[in-house]
Amino acid sequence: MSDVTFGTTRQAIAAQDRTLPGRVTGKLYKAIEAMVWSAASRKEAAQVAGLSDHGLRQALRRPHVMAFYLSECEVLRVSGRAKRLHRLEELAAQNVNVNGAVAAIKAAEQIAEDPVRSSGANPTPGVTIRILNVMPAAAPSAVETPRIIAGEPD
């Protein structure tokens, strides 16, 4: 038998610019990058990347794509923290709006170094038992029924 190579199939041609299974690459990566870093709407990001709006919306429903999108949003949020702290310091140092300065100082003090330690609702594995002290209901009072005596007018 001889090795015969056939031409590329139409499926292989159609799949050239698609994202690999379980990964975010190519057009999808460009679209998410435009949404997060360029503040583009989903429709604009799809046009920039060469996707349809419907295709991008459907891709965002996949768990690995949504996880990538959320991780990029978290990077954007954290990367702006230093700038926000500097802005809060500027607001705290100004004398024109005293209420704004107080609010800026409070906001700067509430920003924690480690968000994992600062969140008060860390779920722990296991069983939680809640004991509620319920007050017993008041005992019904004795209500006397009126006595009917024969011969008295109503």
Q: Same domain, yes or no, for 35 and 95? A: no
Residue 1 has a pLDDT of 46
pLDDT band at 143 (very low <50, low <70, confident <90, very high): low
Residues 62 and 99 in one domain: no
Q: Is residue 53 part of a domain?
A: yes
Same domain, yes or no: 14 and 61: yes
Question: Is residue 131 domain-resident?
Answer: no
* The predicted structure's pLDDT at residue 150: 73
Assigned domain for 92 exists: yes
Between the alpha carbon of residue 11 and those of residues 8, 20, 82, 138, the distances in Å are 8, 14, 48, 77
Compute the distance between CA of residue 52 and CA of residue 47 in angstroms, rounded to an integer.
Answer: 7
In a domain, 146, yes or no: no
Is the pLDDT at 122 greater than 80? The verdict is no
| Residues 6 or more apart whose Cβ sits within 8 Å of residue 28 | 19, 49, 51, 56, 59, 65
pLDDT above 90 coverage of the chain, percent: 23
Please indicate, yes or no, whether the overall pTM of this predicted structure exceeds 0.75: no
Its domain, for residue 64, covers: 10-79
Q: How many domains does the chain have?
A: 2
Smallest CA-to-CA distance from 35 within 84, 71, 69 is with: 69
Q: Please indicate, yes or no, whether residues 24 and 69 belong to a single structural domain of this protein.
A: yes
pLDDT of residue 7: 62
